[in-house]
Amino acid sequence: MKTSYKITACSAILLGIIHQTFAFGASKFTENTLWFIGSGFAIIFAGFLNVALIKTYPQDSLLRTLCIIANLTTTILFVVALLTVLPEPQVFVGIGIFALLTVFSILAKDK
C-alpha cells in the first residue's frame, strides 16, 4: 500500500504543476489567473502533506489527521468544481487522486 500511496501523492503534485502550467500560458494576468495559480499551489501543497505523512508513516497522528482533512476537503472541492463550473477530464482525475489519497491517509494506522 505504501508504494501506491507514494505514486498517488506524486500524481497529486504533478497535477498541481500541470494545473499551474496552464495558468502561466494565459495571455493576460487577471484575478481569475491568480485564483487558478493559487489552486494549483493548494493541490501541490496537499500532495506535499501526503509525502510528509509517507516519510513518517505511520507514526504521526496529527499529520495523519491533517492529511485526512486536506485530502477530503480537496476531493470535495473537485466534486463541487465538477458539478458547478468545470465538467472537464482533469477534474475527474483530481477527484480520483484525492479520493485515493483520502483512503490511503485513513488507512495509515498509528503505531
Q: What is the pLDDT of residues 52-106, one digit of tens each?
A: 999 987 678 899 999 999 999 999 999 999 999 988 889 999 999 999 999 999 9
Dihedral angle sign, alpha carbons of residues 38, 39, 44, 48: positive
What length does the chain have? 111
> Cell digits for 48?
506535499
pLDDT at 110 over 70: no
Global confidence as pTM:
0.90
Q: In whole angstroms, how far apart are CA 37 and each of 22, 33, 74, 79?
A: 9, 6, 15, 19
- In angstroms, the CA 36 to CA 60 distance is 32
Q: What is the mean pLDDT of residues 20-24?
A: 85
Residue 29: the pLDDT is: 84
